[in-house]
Chain A
């Protein structure tokens, strides 16, 4: 693996704290904020204490059977795959939206979630 490819892999994965959490905060409000917050369940579940949490375990939210059965734990890699295409990672889940096709955006969103929800 070349140095450039390795750097790209890090950027895409959001691994190692490369993402810009401050920019991720703005993206979170703009892209996720209609349905999610760090405080309470809305159309989507709250992201309070998301980092390291098993998927579909936020109290009080009605998750899909597919996500409840997924055994996913939220971290850099799983969040990157989820944000890329939630239905590819967990077919049949309820999140009918894709708003982070750009790897930089995903890295920044993930950096924000790591900072705010661990």
Chain B
């Protein structure tokens, strides 16, 4: 048994944590403003992540490091993120909100989070994309229970499925093992 599983087993044997009780009870967070303001806040955070993903794939595509089928897939994934962006902008406007705008290409290139300066190989590009896709998967899972408008959860679920597809393809392209445990995403 791995150290983490051993530690987890010990805790499960001893107690059911308050957090677990909360999870089982379907804990829902409350936003300070109206339900619509809460939904807009979530959508704008998600939109910011989509802007960032589009920029990252653009940087990867323009790097000259991706070739052939790998480049084609990166461009395909970027097009998915552009579709997500457009869907989110539409939803935000429908709710009466103002969509957050993308940063400039230079701002993304200078971002310590993207750390573009460290990218030297095609593998580096794929690892950055993989990291961003995994972050997006977990972010969507984390906010999913908190949409006041349940129809937005359906839209977000479709976006999330795309992100998982991207993460899985990138993980296999990097010759990394897929997660061994069930329910391996989210927290």
Q: How far is the CA of A31 from the CA of B113 in the complex (A)?
A: 14
Q: Say whether A43 contacts B187, CB under 8 Å.
A: no
Question: Interface on B for A, CB 8 Å cutoff?
Answer: 3-4, 7-8, 10-11, 14-15, 17-20, 22-23, 27, 29-32, 38, 41-42, 45, 48-49, 111-113, 131-132, 134-136, 138-139, 141-143, 146, 186-187
B177 to chain A, nearest CB (A): 14
Give the chain B neighbours of A4 by CB distance below 8 A. Answer: 10, 14
Q: Which of A28-45 contact B (CB under 8 A)?
A: 29-31, 33-35, 37, 39-40, 42-43
Q: Say whether B7 contacts A11, CB under 8 Å.
A: yes
A49 to chain B, nearest CB (A): 15
Q: How far is the CA of A69 from the CA of B62 in the complex (A)?
A: 45
Sampled A-B contacts (14; CB under 8 Å): A11-B11, A20-B4, A30-B134, A31-B138, A33-B134, A42-B48, A64-B32, A85-B19, A85-B29, A96-B41, A96-B45, A97-B139, A99-B141, A103-B17
Q: Say whether A8 contacts B19, CB under 8 Å.
A: no
B3 to chain A, nearest CB (A): 7
Question: Interface on A for B, CB 8 Å cutoff?
Answer: 4-5, 7-8, 11-12, 20, 23, 29-31, 33-35, 37, 39-40, 42-43, 64-66, 84-87, 91-106
Give the chain A neighbours of B139 by CB distance below 8 A. Answer: 34-35, 97
Give the chain B neighbours of A101 by CB distance below 8 A. Answer: 17, 19-20, 22-23, 187
Q: If A30-B138, A96-B41 touch, does A102 touch B187 (CB 8 Å cutoff)? A: yes
Q: How far is the CA of A63 from the CA of B75 in the complex (A)?
A: 36
Give the chain A neighbours of B134 by CB distance below 8 A. Answer: 29-30, 33
Q: Say whether B14 contacts A5, CB under 8 Å.
A: yes
B133 to chain A, nearest CB (A): 10
- Top 3 A-B residue pairs of the complex, sorted by shortest distance between their CB atoms: A92-B32, A39-B112, A34-B135
Give the chain B neighbours of A100 by CB distance below 8 A. Answer: 19, 187
Q: How far is the CA of A40 from the CA of B135 in the complex (A)?
A: 16
B19 to chain A, nearest CB (A): 4
Q: Say whether A103 contacts B14, CB under 8 Å.
A: no
Given A87-B30, A97-B143, 13 other A-B contacts at CB below 8 A? A11-B7, A40-B111, A40-B113, A42-B113, A43-B49, A85-B29, A96-B42, A97-B146, A98-B142, A101-B22, A102-B8, A102-B17, A104-B11
